[in-house]
Amino acid sequence: MSQTVISSRFAWILIGLSLAAGLFGVVLFTELAQLLDLPSSWLYAVHPNLGWISVLLVIVVLFILYLHFRHQLLGRRQVIAYAVVILGMVFVTNYFVPYIWLRGHHHTAEFISVAEADALLEESDDVFVLEIDGEARAYPRNWMMVPHIAGDTVGGDEVVMTYCALTNLPQAFSSYIDGDKANLKVLSQVHNNLVMVDTNSGEMYQQITNTSPPSGKSLATRPGQRMPWRSFKTLYPEGRVFRTVDSGLLGLLDKITYKLFMLSLDSHYNGPDPLFPTLRLDDDRLPIKEQIWGINLGGEQVAYSLSYLQKTPVHNTMIGGQPVVVAWFPEFETLGVFNRHLNGRDIEVSEIDVYGNTPEGKLERLPSYPHVFWMVWSHWFPSTKIMS
């Protein structure tokens, strides 16, 4: 058998293997992985090694080009198409999603005044809220849909708001992890929930659990709120509002992405099944599409239905060994979760305002999961209690 024939067969084997590897990466780091219900462990295993895998693929491309030019094994168009496809897949998995398509704004977010935002938002528009030491930020849901991530300094605290549309979950975190400044980007999604990566450390974090499955490290949560725009501008008239508008090709890409998201999310929000078939749907204590308010403290989770909150607007309880008051404010259509340990003792709260003020003093706000889908909440927290 001639050397040319051997080289040709070897080249075709390398081409097949490299195309399969590149395609697997594209599938794993896009929505295709959830459509196929691929194991989440594959994502956690592949991502830390994505750099050298990509370098290896580029080396294979160069080697194929070398064999071609030495032995004229393939047609010119075949070689060009192969190189373009492989390099395109490397580009998509390493750069396109986190830096172009769903480019977060952890350290580049821009904000406008309430007056400026009021000319752009409807009264009923859904906004996520962070208030720290009297300084407030609003993140309109529709404006968070594409970037998913927006950071700022609020009340002297460097924080980042994140949003997963599949879970319908906003969650705020500190911008520091173990004393080091983080730079969170969108990586993928697992079981209908956002997975982020800290590009400074390479750690991956699941948004709903705020932990890194491979290492167990955690993001430090910050207590946020959720309310209509009309409530925010009434409660925090001096607040600032997240707004990032890109022009040119990036702006066009954002508009197209937003429309695609809204089309695909319609069935996810209103149809009988989740968008991706990756959830355990065996917990029928609530309808799978009901949106609940969740609390996760000290390893204990509790889900509150809207009907319960309307019947019991002030609820004193213990969650995870911590004294908590859960307060529903119908006039602002928002929930407050507060630590009712004050001045060295646990107080019983019967009167409280939306800022956490009680006759005995102001209470510390605690993190919550506002208006999250039951189907996602029960999947991630199967031992959750229900107040319905």
Residues 313 and 214 in one domain: no
Mean pLDDT, residues 310-319: 97
Q: 2 or 313, which is more confident?
A: 313
pLDDT tens, position by position, 249-297: 888 999 999 999 999 999 999 999 999 999 999 999 999 999 999 999 9
pTM (2 d.p.): 0.92
Instruction: Tell whether 275 is covered by a domain.
Output: no
HSE-CB at 87 with a 13 A cutoff on CA atoms is 9
Residues 7 and 124 in one domain: no
Predicted local confidence at residue 354, as pLDDT = 97
Domain count, the chain: 3
Residues 95 and 15 in one domain: yes
Q: Domain of 50?
A: 3-101
Q: Residue 245 has which token pair?
A: 């508008």
Q: Residue 124 has which token pair?
A: 């009923």
Mean pLDDT, residues 5-32: 84
Distance CA 163, CA 216 (A): 21
Residues 119 and 19 in one domain: no
Instruction: Tell whether 77 is covered by a domain.
Output: yes
Q: Which of 58-67, 155-164, 311-320 has the lowest mean pLDDT?
A: 58-67
The DSSP line for 262-316 is HHHHHHHHHSSS-SSS-S-----SS-TT-EEEEEEETTEEEEE-HHHHHH-SEEE
Residues 61 and 145 in one domain: no
Burial 30-45 (b: 16+ CB within 10 A, else e): beebbeeebebeebbe
Mean pLDDT, residues 303-310: 97
pLDDT tens, position by position, 82-112: 889 999 999 988 888 888 988 999 999 999 9
Residues 17 and 119 in one domain: no
Domain boundary among 241, 270, 299: 270
> Angle formed by the axes of helices 3-28 and 76-91, to 10°?
30
pLDDT tens, position by position, 219-256: 999 999 999 999 999 999 999 999 987 778 888 999 99
Instruction: Tell whether 246 is covered by a domain.
Output: yes
Output the average pLDDT for the chain: 93
Question: What is the enclosing helix (H) or strand (E) of 81?
Answer: helix 76-91
Mean pLDDT, residues 158-178: 97
Domain boundary among 83, 101, 119: 101
Instruction: Tell whether 230 is covered by a domain.
Output: yes
Q: Return the percentage of the chain with pLDDT > 90, whole number.
A: 80
Residues 123 and 160 in one domain: yes
Distances (CA, A) of 307 to 267, 291, 323: 24, 11, 23
Residues 249 and 177 in one domain: yes
Mean pLDDT, residues 323-341: 98
79 pLDDT more than 60: yes
Instruction: Tell whether 258 is covered by a domain.
Output: yes
Question: What is the enclosing helix (H) or strand (E) of 256?
Answer: helix 248-270
Domain boundary among 54, 69, 101: 101
If phi > 0 it is left, if psi is from -120 to 50 it is alpha, else beta; for residue 320 that is left
Mean pLDDT, residues 190-198: 96
Residues 29 and 92 in one domain: yes
pLDDT classification of 132: cutoffs 50, 70, 90: very high
pLDDT classification of 61: cutoffs 50, 70, 90: confident
**CB count in 10 Å sphere of residue 302:** 23
Instruction: Tell whether 51 is covered by a domain.
Output: yes
Residues 203 and 266 in one domain: yes
Predicted local confidence at residue 73, as pLDDT = 66
Residues 130 and 243 in one domain: yes
Is residue 157 exposed (0-12), middle (13-18) or buried (19+ Cβ within 10 Å)? middle
Predicted local confidence at residue 1, as pLDDT = 44
Instruction: Tell whether 106 is covered by a domain.
Output: no
Predicted local confidence at residue 298, as pLDDT = 95
Residues 94 and 122 in one domain: no
